[in-house]
Chains A and B, each alone.
Chain A
Amino acid sequence: MIRPRSRKAFAAALLVTALAISAGAQAAPGTAGQAAGTAAARRKAQVAVAALGSRDELVESILESELGAMLDREGVEVLGRIELRAEGRAPEPPSEQRITMLLGGLDAKGADIIVAAFYLSRESELTFQFVLFDPEVDVVVGGTVSRARKGLAAFANIQSSVAELEPSIERYVEGAYRVEARTGFVERIVVEGARDGSRVVILDRDYGTVSGGRLVVPYTQFAIGATVPIAVSKDGYHSRSLSVTLDEQQETVVVPPLRRETRIDLGARWSLGQAAGLGFGSRFHIQPDTLFVGLEAYRYLEADSFDNRIVRHYDIGASVGRYVGFPYSSFFRVHLSVGIGMIVTDVEGIPGREYTDYYLALGDPTAELRFGRLSVFARPDIRYALGLGYNLLGRQWIRTPYGLPPITIGARMSL
């Protein structure tokens, strides 16, 4: 008996009662088959209804009465309702593992089966997850997931959602311990390969995060052969989207591991044309692995200073650059950058007369090979000296007497 707790619940209960009478009339022709089942052993069930987010008493009342009516039709005796609390985590349908944990801890009070209904009321949408649980062996033996709109149509939607569970109840009553999935639908989807904490969205529905290297997707009715988009995301990593065709009842989807977003990298470089030296640099990525600003410093000696004054060059530059042409996931990438810099040349023993060559970096087309967080790169240093102040190079393109610009090779580590 449903005890209305409010005026709205009372109205719903009246509606449930009216529809239950109607359903009973429709179910009458089938009672002979059920009688055969119940003659052997009338099964007993406990009903559990739990909100995954905020509670909605009207929804709970409808669910409880509809489940009760459906079980009654199938000849299952409802012993009562078990209190179940499922909130406390992210408002999302629980995984099979969590369902087992939640329902396995309940006292079934002699019931053969627990019929649990989890619901999530969110904005204008209701999400239901029905579970058929055997408390004897703590196993989920069936279930469905469905969605419905809130409002006046809620009752009809809940009724049809409960009806989707009815075939599972029928099979259970007929003696099949394990409920077979309906032919033509995917029974189970496991997502593997993504990093722990990665969020998985199939179609437009968030199915939670990967834990322990896998995510068992709460049952959703996908037809075998359907192609669905899967998006995997995690803070600090590049999101990945892929389309997967669900070919098996037991489908395992392996997604490539997400690549870390580069925010800061550090690098070392060496330049042909500035051979007796070494440089270091760092880049801050305004848009990870796409748009960056960089600072570089290079120090080198004149290689032919054995019996003369030692000449030291200090090359300092700042640039802004962008990767072009290849996605961040590509093994080979290219970036261009422009910037400014200066090379201070200090001749030992000549204080106060350092040469300073200011220059513009105009392009610096850089080819890059990526090995995880490490990348190696090569580029011609295309720079134009401005010939300002006490300088050495004058106003011209910077290149060696052999006609080549300095060629830089180096490596970077993404932090």
Chain B
Amino acid sequence: MKKLQALALVAAFGLASCDFLKTTPFPGYIDRTDISLDLSDRIEAIAGGESQIGYDLQTVTADGRSPRLLLLVEPPSTDKSGAFDYKGKLLVLDEDLVLRGQAGVASSIDYFSKPYSYTHDGSNILAGYTVLTQEGESTLSPPDPPKLGSPHGLEGCAFSDGANTYLFSIPSGKYTAFELSYRTYFEATWGIGGDEDPKPIIPAAARPSPGVQNYQNLGYQLMGLHYNADEDETTFVFSEPTEKRILAVRVTRAAAISGNPLLGYAGSWPVPASAWPIRIEADRPKVAICGNGLFLARRDGWMEFYPWTETGPLALSGETVRIAGDRALERPYAFLDEGPGEDAYMYRFDPASKILTRYKEWWR
């Protein structure tokens, strides 16, 4: 009998302590389910009977402004004749999943895309080529939305310090790069700043020769950025495909646009693996950034949060939080964490049911 009790105790202890035993096929965030919103009627109205609908989910934040959740709904945008006819709509919601508005693009040749960011001109939101109000309405000023020039890619990131809106992106047509395209907008007229020089990612001496085999893929990808208005600091997150890792650097805004190599501020160059041991074994994970850490939604199903220092030189701090995530690649996720004392949420949109769900933070 005592042996049986001991065996049961060992089994219970094993079950309670072993992640392997506790793991289920289900995501680890279900127990944080908070509220949800059924958007099936609205999406049906947007897309009709289309089944091949694309979705994207983003959060935009800025100091002193209410966070906004942007759900992009993109039905196929080619008509029967093959002509481009963009039908995408952007749903603008607040952090409590209250739908504030629904926006379309100004003309049939425009479309919604990254970067998504609050802008310098009051309380508006930049969504690719289009500027929207916080309620999802197209603004009348400027009459023409900013057109990104050909050097700029579509996967860029942006932030605003109240005076300017700063755009960084991998140059158009490239998979990786050693420098970022750069542009600023200012004033209500969306004037374009004079400095459009590319901003190097690594020192020129560290760049391989353009003649090297596979040169086009030896560079970096910009995964995201975060701006801390209080400290006037910007955090850049890159993936380094050749090293199969993700690394990040935090610099002041002035340093970011100075033209000095961004990763030169990473403490030491080359950046040691021990400083950024975030390995990527399979393709590019979904990445989201907040002031106190980095989210990874890996394609093998794990979700991770890497906490880092909130101000000053960037370094990983604290233990990585890992939960079973989602292997269904079609579901977009977005994260909102504005720091200690503020509510933090994860948002998930399910294309099958068209239900948007908010989960309380699982990483704190």
Kindly identify, within residues 304 to 355 of chain B, every residue whose CB is under 8 Å from any CB belonging to chain A: 324-331, 350, 352-353, 355
Residues of B within 8 A of A387 (CB): 328, 352
Q: Does A25 contact B (CB under 8 A)?
A: no
Q: Which of A48-56, A224-232, A233-241, A399-407 contacts B (4 or more CB under 8 A)?
A: A399-407
Q: Does A390 contact B (CB under 8 A)?
A: yes
Kindly identify, within residues 1 to 52 of chain B, every residue whose CB is under 8 Å from any CB belonging to chain A: 15-16, 20-28, 30-33, 36
How many Å from the CB of A145 to the closest CB on chain B?
Answer: 60
Q: Which of A310, A345, A389, A395 contacts B26 (CB 8 A)?
A: A345
Q: Does A272 contact B (CB under 8 A)?
A: yes
Once A275-B21, A353-B36, A400-B24 are accepted as A-B contacts, the answer to whether A390 and B353 lie under 8 Å apart by CB is yes
Kindly identify, within residues 359 to 415 of chain A, every residue whose CB is under 8 Å from any CB belonging to chain B: 387-396, 398-403, 406
Residues of A within 8 A of B329 (CB): 394
Once A273-B25, A309-B32, A309-B33 are accepted as A-B contacts, the answer to whether A390 and B328 lie under 8 Å apart by CB is no
Q: Are A402 and B352 in contact (CB under 8 A)?
A: no
How many Å from the CB of B154 to the closest CB on chain A?
Answer: 26
* Distance in angstroms between the alpha carbons of A263 and B21 in the assembled complex: 35
Residues of A within 8 A of B330 (CB): 394
Q: Does B302 contact A (CB under 8 A)?
A: yes
Q: Are B326 and A400 in contact (CB under 8 A)?
A: no
Q: Does A21 contact B (CB under 8 A)?
A: no
Once A390-B352, A395-B328, A401-B300 are accepted as A-B contacts, the answer to whether A302 and B24 lie under 8 Å apart by CB is yes
Q: Does B301 contact A (CB under 8 A)?
A: yes
Chain A residue nearest to B360 (CB atoms) is A308
* Binary contact track A303-315/B, C-beta < 8 Å → 1, others 0: 1110011110100
* Distance in angstroms between the alpha carbons of A10 and B325 in the assembled complex: 99
How many Å from the CB of B345 to the closest CB on chain A?
Answer: 14
* Distance in angstroms between the alpha carbons of A300 and B301 in the assembled complex: 21
Q: Which of A347, A355, A388, A398 contacts B31 (CB 8 A)?
A: A347
Residues of A within 8 A of B22 (CB): 275-276, 303-304
Chain B residue nearest to A306 (CB atoms) is B31
How many Å from the CB of A158 to the closest CB on chain B?
Answer: 73
Q: Are B352 and A388 in contact (CB under 8 A)?
A: yes
Residues of A within 8 A of B328 (CB): 387, 393-396
Q: Are B301 and A401 in contact (CB under 8 A)?
A: yes
Q: Which of B21, B300, B326, B360 contacts A394 (CB 8 A)?
A: B326
Residues of B within 8 A of A303 (CB): 15-16, 21-22, 24
Residues of B within 8 A of A311 (CB): 26, 30-31
Residues of A within 8 A of B28 (CB): 302, 304
* Distance in angstroms between the alpha carbons of A305 and B24 in the assembled complex: 13
* Chain A interface SS verdict (over half): loop
Q: Are A391 and B300 in contact (CB under 8 A)?
A: no
* Distance in angstroms between the alpha carbons of A275 and B31 in the assembled complex: 16
Once A391-B352, A392-B26 are accepted as A-B contacts, the answer to whether A310 and B31 lie under 8 Å apart by CB is yes
Residues of B within 8 A of A153 (CB): none
Q: Does A350 contact B (CB under 8 A)?
A: yes
Interface bracket on A: 35 or more
* Binary contact track B216-233/A, C-beta < 8 Å → 1, others 0: 000000000000000000
Residues of B within 8 A of A121 (CB): none
* Distance in angstroms between the alpha carbons of A397 and B188 in the assembled complex: 52
Chain B residue nearest to A277 (CB atoms) is B24
Residues of B within 8 A of A399 (CB): 25
Once A305-B31, A347-B31, A391-B353 are accepted as A-B contacts, the answer to whether A398 and B15 lie under 8 Å apart by CB is no
Residues of B within 8 A of A400 (CB): 23-25, 301, 324
Q: Are B26 and A393 in contact (CB under 8 A)?
A: yes
* Distance in angstroms between the alpha carbons of A373 and B25 in the assembled complex: 33
Q: Are A302 and B352 in contact (CB under 8 A)?
A: no
Q: Are A308 and B26 in contact (CB under 8 A)?
A: no
Chain A residue nearest to B357 (CB atoms) is A353
Q: Does A65 contact B (CB under 8 A)?
A: no
Kindly identify, within residues 296 to 344 of chain A, every residue whose CB is under 8 Å from any CB belonging to chain B: 300, 302-305, 308-311, 313
Q: Does A46 contact B (CB under 8 A)?
A: no
Q: Does A274 contact B (CB under 8 A)?
A: yes
Once A387-B328, A396-B327 are accepted as A-B contacts, the answer to whether A308 and B31 lie under 8 Å apart by CB is yes
Residues of B within 8 A of A390 (CB): 350, 352-353, 355
Residues of B within 8 A of A273 (CB): 23-25
* Distance in angstroms between the alpha carbons of A68 and B220 in the assembled complex: 116
Kindly identify, within residues 252 to 304 of chain A, every residue whose CB is under 8 Å from any CB belonging to chain B: 272-276, 300, 302-304
How many Å from the CB of A351 to the closest CB on chain B?
Answer: 11
Q: Which of A310, A398, A401, A406 contacts B325 (CB 8 A)?
A: A401
Residues of B within 8 A of A305 (CB): 31
* Distance in angstroms between the alpha carbons of A302 and B20 in the assembled complex: 13
* Distance in angstroms between the alpha carbons of A345 and B27 in the assembled complex: 11
Chain B residue nearest to A403 (CB atoms) is B300
Residues of A within 8 A of B21 (CB): 272, 275, 303
Q: Which of A272, A394, A398 contacts B331 (CB 8 A)?
A: A394
Once A276-B15, A391-B353, A394-B326 are accepted as A-B contacts, the answer to whether A401 and B30 lie under 8 Å apart by CB is no
Chain A residue nearest to B327 (CB atoms) is A396
> What are 10 A-B contacts with C-beta separation under 8 Å?
A276-B15, A302-B24, A309-B31, A345-B30, A350-B33, A392-B26, A396-B327, A396-B328, A398-B25, A401-B324
CB-CB nearest 10 A-B residue pairs: A394-B328, A390-B353, A308-B31, A401-B301, A303-B22, A347-B33, A400-B23, A401-B324, A309-B31, A398-B25
Known A273-B24, A275-B21, A392-B26; further 5 A-B contacts with Cβ < 8 A: A302-B24, A302-B26, A304-B31, A310-B31, A390-B355
Q: Which residues of B are in contact with A by a Cβ distance under 8 Å?
A: 15-16, 20-28, 30-33, 36, 300-302, 324-331, 350, 352-353, 355, 360
